[in-house]
Amino acid sequence: MTSKPKVVDVHTHVYPPQYVSILKSRSKVPYVRDTTPGQPSRLIILPGEDDPSSESTARGRPIGPEYYDINKKIEFMDTHGIDISVISLANPWLDFLDRDEAKGLARDVNDAINSMCDAHPGRLFAFGALPLSAPSEVIVDEIHRLPTLKYTRGIIMGTSGLGNGLDDPELDPVYQALEQENMTIFLHPHYGLPKEVFGPRAADYGHVLPLAIGFPLETTIAVTRMILSGVFDRFPKLSVLLAHSGGTLPFLAGRLESCILHDAHYSGPGAKVESRRSVWDILKTNILLDAVVYSELGVRAAAKASGADRVLFGTDHPFFPPLEAAEGEEVKWLSVTTNYKAIGEAFGPEKEQAEAVLGGNAVRLLRLTTD
């Protein structure tokens, strides 16, 4: 008898209780704030999100137990037919902490998330977090500790790296350790674009510009800098899962490769770069793309760029909840059903490819078994 194919969510976040306590103790972004009596606390995390002159929805988002109670994650999974979730700390991770705090909290958070997985064997795996403000030996030590955590298969990180972006050569020991330990990087945006690009009325549009445009472009720029600086030439086995289907990378890969081929720095006589792997090769060898893109067109572009065997279903839970569900009501989330529908439509009669994107790829690529 063949078993039912698994559905795996690789893009799903949690804030462990000790992280929430830190957010509650702070008065600068990121923080959790009780603003209106009788209303849920608000989670203020994005840069500039607490601008007092803005009355729009751009001022944070309500935070309830779905952000920190792992039982809520399991309920959400059951409601949406998800067998396994690969949980990760949500942004801004440990980026805002000083070096000593980051070192201690990385261990605590990674242990706490691993324990959440242990409490639901077979349902949860994890991406850990790195203490990126600590010295690189501390970061590398934490990476070498991750394989001792039974459910951890990689790490989530933002685009700032050690402070100078992901093309910083100082990150090489970190990339080397991740490659050695076979830990996938889940590259996720947080910082967006400089606010000036969105103009003086940006706050009138709620969160739409930073989330729909700023986030994907941030990821696109970060991974492009990794490609241009030769990270994937130096670490050819490095595996990087890009949030939101790689931002605009699948669409722009051809232009990127063409610009490289027409730039004397990389190509032609006198080029400063001796050899390099093509963008297409990197997309098909090193890059995994989540399918959190909400359209058939986006899923098709992702599958064309990296291969349908490298695209992985995700939800972005607990972000993007339905706006009108009554408290405690178990409804299906539009953000999730849209992504299911996009995968179904992208592959049509190619049911095996759809099943692979929904779960088989994640099980294989992230080794989601505990035997």
- For ligand 5CU, the closer CB: 30 or 250: 30
Rounded least distance, CB 45 to ligand 5CU, Å: 6
- For ligand 5CU, the closer CB: 14 or 134: 14
- For ligand 5CU, the closer CB: 66 or 316: 316
- For ligand 5CU, the closer CB: 91 or 353: 91
Are 276 and 259 within 8 A, CB to CB? no
Exposure pattern of 199-218 as b/e (b: 16+ CB <10 Å)? eeebbeeebebbbebbbbbb
Pick one of 8, 45, 112, 187: the residue that binds ligand 5CU (CB under 6 A). Answer: 45
The DSSP string of 178-244 is HHHTTPEEEE---S-S-GGGG-TTGGGGTTHIIIIIIHHHHHHHHHHHHHHTTHHHH-TT--EEEGG
Site residues for ligand 5CU, 293-312, by CB under 6 A, read none
* 14 φ, ψ (degrees, to nearest 5): -150, 150
Pick one of 211, 213, 221, 259: the residue that binds ligand 5CU (CB under 6 A). Answer: 211
Site residues for ligand 5CU, 73-112, by CB under 6 A, read 90-91
- For ligand 5CU, the closer CB: 80 or 207: 207
Q: Does 319 bind ligand 5CU (CB under 6 A)?
A: yes
Q: Does 316 bind ligand 5CU (CB under 6 A)?
A: yes
Rounded least distance, CB 93 to ligand 5CU, Å: 11
Rounded least distance, CB 61 to ligand 5CU, Å: 6
Q: Does 20 bind ligand 5CU (CB under 6 A)?
A: no
Q: Could you give the angle at the alpha carbon of 165 between the alpha carbons of 163 and 167, nearest 5°?
A: 135
For residue 182, give both structure tokens: 């076979």
Rounded least distance, CB 116 to ligand 5CU, Å: 18
Cα gap 218→248, rounded to integer Å: 10
Q: Number of C-alpha atoms within 13 angstroms, CB side, residue 69? A: 8
Total of chain residues touching ligand 5CU, rule CB under 6 A:
10
With residues binned 3-state (H G I as helix, E B as strand, rest as coil), the percentages for the chain, rounded to 5, are 45, 15, 40
- For ligand 5CU, the closer CB: 40 or 104: 40
Cα gap 290→309, rounded to integer Å: 11
**Residue 42, strand partner residues:** 33, 62
| No. of helices (H) and no. of strands (E), the chain | 14, 11
- For ligand 5CU, the closer CB: 156 or 231: 156
Give residues in contact with ligand 5CU (CB under 6 A): 13, 45-46, 61, 90-91, 207, 211, 316, 319
